[in-house]
Amino acid sequence: MSLGVLGAGAFGTALAITLSQKGPMTLWARDPAQAHQMARDRTNAARLPGVALPDRLTVTSDLTDLDALDTVLVAVPLQKLRAFLEEARRPLTGKTLVACCKGMELRTGLGPLEIMAEVCPESPRALLTGPSFARDIAQGLPTALTLACTDEDQCIALQQALSNNTLRLYRTGDVIGAALGGALKNVIAIACGAAIGAGLGESARAALMTRGHAEMQRLAAHKGADPTTLFGLSGFGDLVLTATSAQSRNYRFGLSIGTGAAFDPAATVEGAATAQAVAAYAKAQGIDLPISSAVAALVEKRLDVEDAMTALLSRSLKEE
């Protein structure tokens, strides 16, 4: 299986670095200047500074360099995925596409595999998700992820091709549950960051994580997924990592909301748009997702943290 990675952000670069252990690897960057810098200096100075690119890793900005590949990992932000796939549809035709992004599209509420199905219906699809930070993967630190695919034989082949001695993949056929876990944990991480930033304490964070996980299961069940999938790496595991570490952009974004500090507008915060998409869907479907709805209100600046917590704590008492 010949592999390549589309997207030279931190995560795409990290995947290309670790997968190059198994053979030649191609990493595509949209910006020709970035691709030139990476090829010349053998590091991604903008996104993953201090980590060397292996000799077997080729960096390019030319999509035709993907023609010889049969499997492509697509590591572009979820909100930009549709436009990118429409632009790159011809060179991607017939290739197996592995989505490496998390979230729900703001306009449609669709996840990565659903977007791929609409834009590239002829391409086999899979999803790589779970608890991971780019720097950990790039530095060869032990990481376990979920590989979701409805075709079991294809999933087994991808699992073998994408696993190595530090990156371990577990497979599932529940593509809806795996995608929702990766999307919704970012929303809950924003809530947790906001609570900590506002000085509400660790107990508040624990409550938000626990009740947020219940929301994740509730939405998964409504969409036809197996709620137990949300107890695995792509749900509970990813939630724990993202809601407790300052390496998480979503958690840091929540911290900035809680403290009132400015946040880098160039940083990708998938949970912000996902919260808005989830809140709109929940309202239309009559699903009770109070934490996700509160995060959407925070993102849209319709509520501050104090008002959001007051609204959550004043809800009717009930059985867990």
Residue 5 backbone zone (phi > 0: left; psi -120 to 50: alpha; other: beta): beta
- Residue tagged active-site, from 185, 223, 283, 318: 185
CA distance 3 to 55: 16
What is the 3-state secondary structure of 24-47? CEEEECCCHHHHHHHHHHCEECCC
Q: Specify whether 283 is catalytic.
A: no
**Helix/strand/coil for 119:** helix
Is the alpha carbon torsion for 10, 16, 20, 22 positive or negative?
positive
Question: Are the C-beta atoms of residues 112 and 99 closer than 8 Å to each other?
Answer: yes
Task: Identify the burial level of 94 via C-beta atoms within 10 angstroms of its C-beta, where 0-12 means exposed, 13-18 middle and 19 or more buried.
Answer: exposed
Which residues are known catalytic residues? 185
